[in-house]
Amino acid sequence: MAATTTNDLKTGMTLDLPEGLFQVVDFQHVKPGKGPAFVRTKLRNVRSGGVLDKTFRADERVEQAVVDKKAMQFLYRDGNDYVFMDNTTYDQIHVGPAALGDATNYIVDGSTMVVQFYGDEIIGTDLPAAVELTVTETEPGIQGDRVSGARKPATLETGLVVQVPLFVNQGERIKVDTRSGDYLTRA
């Protein structure tokens, strides 16, 4: 474990606190007119996804968790588990959907992603900002229906349902923002 101070906190940093393993979502250094300075943080529990608001004294020491990142390729699904292969050692590991969280909506066969490890435990993934997915089911666009900004639901190959413009048809590939789950453009 590497000790750091609350003055050195950065967004995305992972901390090992007595309450559990947390990732810094947001932080703010506050220096009131009277009294000592403090750091107000918003932390996300990497195991449960819950959010915690916590205030630290300025220059308080906290334990920074050492998180390893490995590029891994998704091979296939085995029941509920996702099977990944390490790109350097070719070892295969089974990962439960709880460890991947929302990333399960964007994983397709053969895709490569960065998996975060804390010791031997998988605590999350780094997804690209956008992914290309195929539309498997949507209503056909009706000729003459050109309402500005109109949307319709579309089911993608991963099972994710997004709102797309009326001109998007079944079988087309689209780009989806992984941070918000919104349609970006046709691929």
Asked whether the CA dihedral 40, 44, 45, 51 is positive or negative, the reply is positive
Q: What is the CATH number of the domain that holds 177?
A: 2.40.50.140
Phi, psi of 149 (to 5 degrees): 80, 10
Same domain, 113 and 134: no
Same domain, 58 and 72: no
Say which residues have a Cβ less than 8 Å from residue 50's Cβ, sequence separation at least 6: 44
Angle among Cα 156, 93, 109 to the nearest 5 degrees reads 25
Q: pTM here?
A: 0.70
Strand partners, 14: 23
Same domain, 25 and 50: yes
Residue where a domain terminates, one of 24, 48, 64: 64
Same domain, 43 and 7: yes
Q: Is 66 within 8 Å of 2 (Cβ atoms)?
A: yes
Residue where a domain terminates, one of 34, 49, 64: 64
Range of the structural domain that residue 27 is part of: 2-64
Question: What does the pLDDT read at residue 181?
Answer: 84
Same domain, 143 and 167: yes
Same domain, 149 and 169: yes
Q: Which one-letter amino acid corresponds to residue 173?
A: R
Same domain, 31 and 77: no
Q: Is 59 within 8 Å of 5 (Cβ atoms)?
A: yes
Question: What does the pLDDT read at residue 28?
Answer: 92
Residue where a domain terminates, one of 64, 92, 114: 64
Tens-of-pLDDT digits for all 187 residues of the chain? 578 888 888 888 889 888 888 889 899 998 988 889 999 999 988 877 788 899 998 888 999 888 888 889 989 888 888 899 988 888 898 888 878 878 888 888 888 888 888 888 888 888 888 888 999 998 886 666 666 677 888 999 888 899 988 888 889 999 998 888 888 888 8
What is the domain count for the chain? 3
